[in-house]
Amino acid sequence: MELRKENVLIVDDDIGILELLQRHLLSWNLHCYKAISVKEAVAILRDAKIDLLITDLKMPHVDGFELIKFVSEHYPQIPKLVITGYPSVQGSLQSIKSGVADYLTKPFTKQELAQAIEKSIGGLEANVQQNKKVALPKIKNQPKPYKEIVGKSDAIKKVFQLMDRVKDNKATVLINGESGTGKELVAQGIHFGGKFSRAPFIPVNCGAIAENLLESELFGYVKGAYTGADSTRDGYFQAANGGTLFLDEIGSASLAVQTRLLRVLQEREVVKVGSRKPEKIEVRVIAATNEKLTKLIEAKRFREDLYYRLTVVEIEMPPLRKRIGDIPLLVERFLFKYGLEYRNGYVKIDDEALGVLKRYSWPGNVRELENVVQRAVIMGNGSLGLEHLPDTIKYQIDFPDDDLMPLKEVERRYIQKVLNRMENNKTKAAEILGITRKTLRKKLVN
């Protein structure tokens, strides 16, 4: 038998089968890696260049099906050959659509093994030539004023309906939603989709401005109001007069700022810091938060009366995991955007890679999806596949851990796992863990 590949990984918990396979493979001048568990196999895959995987299915703790799915996404170029003592396995293999090239039922002859290996390797080259592409669906019935918000799911249609109700009036709006869901796009859509679109739209990230500066930045200040106030200056409210002021991360505003904001909403007038003279303004306020304001109210960190002033109309921006059907549309938009920017043309994605994107939970929502697609376009060559996606979003095996350990060590390992999934982004990790960045830093040091 003349083979074109050299490194073969064989996985079986039966030492006798491993030795038999190794003898056969060595007789064909192939190099062998042996593993008696899926955990050992994954370690070898990460450290060595493997050209063919031969694996049993029935193994303790983690079975071969998990290994097959893991290899299919992390190492799609590696052909997979299954050996099993259960003849009914063919139906199981078809059900997981794993891309297994062939399977052998124990016991098998050396000739049958040789033929199966030849078939597996030939299947690899056929897959390389196939280069399948998926035609992503076009967005139909997309409201023209909201073209920046991509989607046709029921969840996003509810958002469009509420935006239609408020775009032509100046009712105060609160937009709830996790980070990265597109809350500012909703605010922009309300403003620029309505009859006030020619008036100013002023976005302000309350969490990005130091607490002692936010008050003067929002309401303005007069000369001499505080050290460094060398002249009188208008704030964001005056700049947005006649239009829309978008207050993002409103939950981070101090109680002092909240008190002033409540007066603006009640009286429709602003008083600069250091002044007693009110100025009449006509501003629509749209606020947004990724925190539950009701919980902040319970913690005495947010004014209840301000909450009711802000929620004249409340819009809930759904997380991406609750609008899976919109992922192909979003991917198409980002492929077009970054294809033109980096590749001077439209970039396509194969159906396996798109399937991985649809299955992932997206804790960072649309922003995270856009970053992944942008990176894939940069790393790819005009056609994206599994190999262009980061390992963090691909299939992961959760190995059982039978060792007992202190609670502190369990916590440390879980924190590290979250950090790995978030690509060491401490802000996102802290958000998922429900702690502050400062607490996270302390736990990493201790």
DSSP string, 392-446: GGS------------HHHHHHHHHHHHHHHTTT-HHHHHHHHTS-HHHHHHHHH-
> CA–CA separation, 221 vs 215, rounded Å?
9
Answer whether residue 147 shows pLDDT above 70. yes
Q: Is the pLDDT of residue 134 over 50?
A: no
pLDDT at 239: 94
Predicted local distance difference test score (pLDDT) of residue 323: 95
Higher pLDDT, 410 or 290: 290
Contacts with 296 (C-beta within 8 Å, 6 or more apart), sequence order: 251, 302
The pLDDT score that the predictor gives to residue 143 is: 64
pLDDT at 444 over 90: no
Asked if residues 254 and 240 have their Cβ atoms less than 8 Å apart, the reply is no
Please state the rounded mean pLDDT for residues 249-257: 94
Handedness of CA 252, 254, 259, 264 (dihedral sign): negative
66-70, 81-85, 421-425: least confidently modelled range: 421-425
Please report the pLDDT score of residue 125 as a whole number.
43
Please determine, for residue 389, whether its predicted confidence score (pLDDT) is greater than 60. yes
The second-level CATH assignment, the architecture, of 322-384 is Orthogonal Bundle (1.10)
Question: In the chain, count of helices (H) and strands (E)?
Answer: 18, 14
Strand order in the sheet with 102-105: 31-35, 7-11, 52-56, 80-84, 102-105
Average pLDDT of the chain is 86
Pick the CATH number of 407-445 from 1.10.10.60, 1.10.8.420, 3.40.50.1370, 3.30.1360.120: 1.10.10.60
pLDDT higher than 70, residue 403: no
Question: By percentage, how much of the chain surpasses pLDDT 70?
Answer: 89
Phi–psi pair at 274, nearest 5 degrees: 90, 0
What single-letter amino acid sits at 293?
L
Residue 248 main-chain phi, psi, to 5 deg: -85, 150
**pLDDT confidence tier of residue 139, bands split at 50, 70 and 90:** low
CA distances in angstroms from 18 to 12, 46, 55, listed in the order given: 6, 20, 10
Domain segments of the chain: what residues? 7-130, 154-317, 322-384, 407-445
Nearest to 67 by CA among 85, 44, 90: 44
Give the confidence band of 136 by pLDDT, cuts at 50, 70, 90. very low
Q: Tell me how far apart the terminal alpha carbons of the chain are, to the nearest angstrom.
A: 58
User: Residue 247 in 3-state DSSP?
Assistant: strand
Indicate whether 327 pLDDT > 80.
Answer: yes
Q: Are 170 and 284 in contact (CB under 8 A)?
A: yes
What is the mean predicted confidence (pLDDT) over 205-225?
89
Question: Does pLDDT of 382 surpass 90?
Answer: no
Question: pLDDT class for 314, splitting at 50, 70, 90?
Answer: very high
Nearest Cα residue to 42 out of 79, 88, 9, 18: 9
Kind and range of the H or E run holding 212: helix 211-219
Query: Quick one: pLDDT at residue 90?
Result: 54
pLDDT of residue 350: 92
DSSP calls for 288-337:
EESS-HHHHHHTTSS-HHHHHHHTTEEEEPPPGGG-GGGHHHHHHHHHHH
- Phi then psi for 382, rounded to 5 degrees? 105, -10
> Rounded to the nearest 5°, which phi and psi values hold at 380?
-85, -170
Rounded Cα distance, 62 and 396, in Å? 12
DSSP assignment string, 357-403: HHHS--TTHHHHHHHHHHHHHHHSSSEE-GGGS-GGGS---------
Query: Does position 130 have pLDDT exceeding 80, yes or no?
Result: no
CB-CB contact of 431 with 418 (8 Å): no
CB 245 within 8 Å of CB 287 = no
Residue-wise pLDDT for 225-245, tens only, equals: 887 788 888 999 999 999 999
Rg (CA), the chain: 29
Nearest one of 386, 389, 378, 382 to 348, comparing CA atoms: 382
DSSP state, 60? Answer: S
CB-based burial of residue 129 (10 Å sphere; 0-12 exposed, 13-18 middle, 19+ buried)? exposed
pLDDT-wise least confident of 192-201, 284-293, 403-412: 403-412
CATH architecture, domain 154-317: 3-Layer(aba) Sandwich (3.40)
Angle made by CA atoms 68, 432, 39, in degrees to the nearest 5: 25
In the prediction, which pLDDT does 131 show? 39
pLDDT tens readout for residues 71-110:
988 888 889 888 887 665 555 555 345 667 777 887 888 8
| pLDDT higher than 80, residue 283 | yes
For residue 10, what pLDDT band results from cuts at 50, 70 and 90? very high
| Mean of pLDDT values over 19-31 | 86
User: Can you point out the beta strands (E) in 14-57?
Assistant: 31-35, 52-56
* pLDDT tens digits for range 149-197: 999 999 999 999 999 999 999 999 999 999 999 999 999 999 999 999 9
Instruction: Give residue-wise pLDDT tens across range 329-360.
Output: 999 999 988 888 887 777 899 999 999 999 99
Residue 372 is predicted with a pLDDT of 95
pTM of the predicted structure, to 2 decimals:
0.71
d(CA 244, CA 169): 11
> What pLDDT does residue 100 have?
79
Q: Is the pLDDT of residue 124 over 70?
A: no
pLDDT at 144: 61
Can you point out the beta strands (E) in 272-334?
A: 278-280, 284-289, 313-316
Nearest residue to 75 (alpha-carbon basis) of 102, 106, 103, 44: 44
Whole-angstrom Cα distance, residue 92 to residue 80?
Answer: 15
- Note whether 7-130 and 154-317 share their fold: yes
Q: Side chain identity at 279, as an amino acid letter?
A: E
Asked if pLDDT for residue 301 goes beyond 70, the answer is yes
> Is it true that domain 7-130 has CATH number 2.60.120.1440?
no
Average pLDDT over residues 242-256: 95
Which DSSP symbol is given to 233? Answer: B
pLDDT at 151: 92
Percentage of the chain modeled with pLDDT above 90: 47
